[in-house]
Amino acid sequence: MPKRLKKLSEEILHKNPWYEYKHDRYTLPNGGEGDYFYIETNGTSIVIPFLEDGRVLLTVQYRYLHDKQSIEFPAGGIKEGQDPLVAAKAELYEETGWVAKDFVKVATLEPSTGCIKDKTHVYVAHVVEEHEQHLDETEDIELVYRKVSEVEDMIRRNDIWDGMSLAAWALARHHMYNNRLM
């Protein structure tokens, strides 16, 4: 079993409303010391929204770091002290304009354990009411509606390449199958 590292110190190098960039010093099992740089967030909520006709709602948005469009499920950061379900409802409404009649939490995951602490809460929701999107000034989000089989095809073709969306879909499949959404 790998041995644990012992934290000696923690320094916040940068802080903004979404995350903190941190530098930790630690001791190794052999007595040596090391540095660890990472990002820590308040967490993320991601929603797989189903329409009453069984189609899935996805977002298309430009991702600066990759300089290309990304097809994803609605998701966003959790504000400090905010309940993950409240964040999920808010992100669904803001990014898509849709309101859900119910949310089922299917999993919690850590999408990138080596460089970011970002507890991600995965929900499946049944959307029933559409309104206007309420996007942040930095957001430009298109909506697409696809059958479950089309989402599966998009994943196989690597049209959906966002890791958090892929993990959420994989974790939600059991729930979707049991509830005849697949």
Average pLDDT of span 64-93: 96
pLDDT at 7: 95
What 3-state class would DSSP assign to 81? Answer: coil
pLDDT at residue 182 is higher than 60: no
What is the pTM assigned to this prediction?
0.91
pLDDT confidence tier of residue 174, bands split at 50, 70 and 90:
confident
Q: What percent of the chain has pLDDT over 70?
A: 98
Among 179, 123, 182, 178, CA closest to 148: 182
* Tens digits of residue pLDDT in 96-150: 999 999 999 999 999 999 999 999 999 999 999 888 888 778 878 999 999 999 9
pLDDT at 116: 96
Average pLDDT of span 10-37: 95
- Rounded (10°) CA dihedral 14, 63, 166, 90: 70
Q: What percent of the chain has pLDDT over 90?
A: 82
| C-alpha–C-alpha distance, residues 125 and 5, integer Å | 39
| C-alpha–C-alpha distance, residues 39 and 24, integer Å | 11
pLDDT at residue 179 is higher than 60: yes
pLDDT at 181: 62
pLDDT confidence tier of residue 180, bands split at 50, 70 and 90:
low
Q: Please, what are the domains in the chain?
A: 6-40 (no CATH), 42-178 (3.90.79.10)
